Amino acid sequence: MGLAAFAEGDPNKAPANPAADVQVPPQPEPAPKQEPQKAAPVGSVAELAGHMAADSNVAPAVAYMEAVLADAEVDITRALGAAADYLDPSRIDVHYLKEKLGDKADQVIKLATSTLEYAANYQKESVSQVHQAAGGEAQWNLAVQAFNTKADPTERAMLAELLDSGVRDKMIYAAKKIAEYGVQAGVVTRHNAPPLGQASSEKGLSRAEFADAISKRGIQEGSAEYQNLRRLRQLGMQQGL
């Protein structure tokens, strides 16, 4: 049987066209072609610089690098992150910066290098002043030992945060607090910095005092406490003791 069998028995009726009764759903409009989005820059020069970003000696360089690197969509963390972590200009991703910046790369690399060197010197001087706040590196090491033994966990965490902040005033404040533990434990001599041009008010040790201190405390040669006593003995010799 063909299509005529569906004409309800009327031979003169045209056969039905089943295709004519099928409703074809409208085809959706093709979605507009999406342009690939450019990756947003990762990181920030100011974030990497931390508190140093506000230092008047490096702030203009930080602002310039921020603008140039953002405009070229540089991954700042990739380019400068490791160098900032270690304050080491040799860790700058020079090849990547030259690839992204072209003829602007040399200026950015020069500024990044000088900024990192400045930050490294600042940190070194801050550490030196921390030691001075305790009367010297040997006394600082002794004070830290006493502090770690005596201070409660909350205070240890608070002062450690100040020392790690990199902000010199905060670091020195923490150092003085830690030095007090050394003084209380009897391993650090209280030290007051003398006025400029005057001799230190710290009293050194005579030969007998030096020998007595070592024998009574059972101090091991080469230890930090031994080195501090040696320093005091040298000072005593300078003072005629």
- pLDDT tens digits in sequence order for the chain, 241 residues long: 343 433 445 555 545 554 445 455 555 565 555 554 544 456 899 999 998 998 888 999 999 999 999 999 999 999 999 999 999 999 999 999 999 999 999 999 999 999 999 999 999 999 988 988 888 888 899 999 999 999 999 999 999 999 998 888 999 999 999 999 888 888 777 655 444 334 445 677 787 777 777 776 566 666 666 667 777 777 777 666 6
**The last residue of a domain, from among 72, 87, 122:** 122
- 234 and 129 in a single domain? The answer is yes
DSSP state of 20: G
Whether 72 contacts 100, CB under 8 Å: yes
pTM for the structure as a whole? 0.60
User: Are 211 and 234 part of one and the same domain?
Assistant: yes
Tell me if 100 is assigned to some domain. Answer: yes
Domain shared by 208 and 138, yes or no: yes
Does residue 115 lie in a domain region?
Answer: yes
Considering the domain architecture, whether residues 95 and 136 belong to the same structural domain is answered as no
Q: What is the pLDDT of residue 211?
A: 77
Number of domains observed in the structure of the chain: 2
132 and 221 together in one domain: yes
DSSP code per residue over 90-139: GGS-HHHHHHHHGGGHHHHHHHHHHHHHHHHHHHHHHHHHHHHHTTSHHH
Q: What angle do CA 63, 66, 68 make, to 5 degrees?
A: 110
Specify the DSSP class assigned to residue 31: P
Domain boundary among 122, 143, 172: 122
38 occurs within a structural domain: no
77 with 167, same domain: the answer is no
Confidence (pLDDT) at 190: 63
177 and 234 in one domain?
yes
Tokens, residue 165:
């902040």
Domain that holds residue 111: 45-122
